[in-house]
Amino acid sequence: MKINLRLVVLTIIAIAAAILSAVAEARTRDNGQPRLEPEEVQARLQELDCPRPKPRVAIYSFNATGKLAAFEGYNVGDGLAAQLATELTRTGCFIVLDRTGLSNVLREQEMTLAGVVNRETGAQAGRVIGAEVIIKGTVTEFEPNKRGRGLTLGLGLPNTPLGIRLGRNSATAHVALDLSIVDATTGQVKFAHRVEADSKSGGWTIGLDYKRGSIGGDTFSKSPLGMASRNALGEAILHIAADLRGMPWRGQVVDSSENMIFLNAGLDSGIREGDTYRVSTVVRTLIDPSTGLLLDNIEREVGRVRVVSVKSKYSIAEPIDGIRVKRGDYIHL
């Protein structure tokens, strides 16, 4: 009887050690850095400090090749890019340009140009909004079963031919992405991040043994792989918001008169009444004679303006210190 008691105690200690080890492993990245829990990611997203004015962000399909290109008929690259566009839009911190569906937009414009659609109601060509930054992504890991564990404890009842088995099993889905934030004008990679997340599923098994017979049941329930994707994308948004908050924003002057200056930033950009901006004009353009590429615009600051009214698609500002601006001049924070 003492031997059986010792065996039970040792088994319980082994189970507790396995659980603690699994928790510690789950909270640590492969590179040893602590991993954010899904609840912590969602809490940070709720309190997200948005960059202002809102940057224009273009999302293209993610690169996913080989065994990562598709999963049970699901286009992994397009699907994750669409999820990121949705989550970025939900934050209200960005002007999101979903380029994954750009072909449909261009088809509408082509039908207008071809006369298939009435020109007065059809989509106008040349009106697609330009992006300030591009989000590029590569799916590096997409595993429905990264890890699996199982442990079963059996105990025979004294003086009877009956025995009881109790077990616990679990599996972990895993997603990892490499993201790059690219300056849309220069093509330079400004920031790069690797994000990853897990989604766990598990269940209990119970069985009853009688001599050589055995019956039991399994309540194993699987969590969708999409939960791991959403957790990884949530962490990606935190990185994107932090990076873009430090990037310079600029708009342009649409038109101007003596006391009214029209800016190409409206309500959706996050611009507000009372904001003041610096105004600069391009005095020289540097073009590489070998490649024809734009190297830089040399700008000269001409003064400041103050926003007095914000419309849905544009805003109206007044000059400070009597400065004079012209169409195409840049406005900066």
pLDDT in tens, 262-320: 999 898 888 899 999 999 998 999 998 988 887 888 999 999 999 999 998 899 999 99
Domains of the chain: 36-245 (3.40.50.10610), 250-332 (2.40.10.410)
Which residues face 151 on adjacent strands?
Answer: 168
- Give the E-state strand segments of the chain in sequence order: 56-59, 70-71, 74-75, 95-98, 133-156, 162-183, 189-210, 213-218, 250-256, 261-263, 276-287, 294-310, 315-320, 330-332
User: Of the ranges 23-27, 94-98, 120-124, 256-260, which one carries the lowest mean pLDDT score?
Assistant: 23-27
Q: For residue 290, give the amino acid letter.
A: S
Using the structure block, give the residue that is written with the tokens 């669409």: 82
Q: How many CB atoms lie within 10 A of CB 138?
A: 16
pLDDT for position 201: 62
C-alpha span between 104 and 107 (Å, rounded) = 5
pLDDT in tens, 301-315: 999 999 999 998 899
CB of 249 within 8 A of CB of 332?
yes
User: Is the pLDDT assigned to residue 17 strictly greater than 70?
Assistant: no
**3-state class of 97 per DSSP?**
strand
How far is residue 102 CA from its own chain's centroid? 19
**3-state class of 79 per DSSP?**
helix
The one-character DSSP state at 66 is G
pLDDT in tens, 83-101: 899 889 988 889 999 888 7
**3-state class of 245 per DSSP?**
helix
Residue 289 tokens read as 């004679």
C-alpha span between 174 and 146 (Å, rounded) = 6
The one-character DSSP state at 96 is E
User: Is the pLDDT assigned to residue 219 strictly greater than 70?
Assistant: no
C-alpha span between 315 and 328 (Å, rounded) = 15
Helix (H) or strand (E) holding 6: helix 2-26
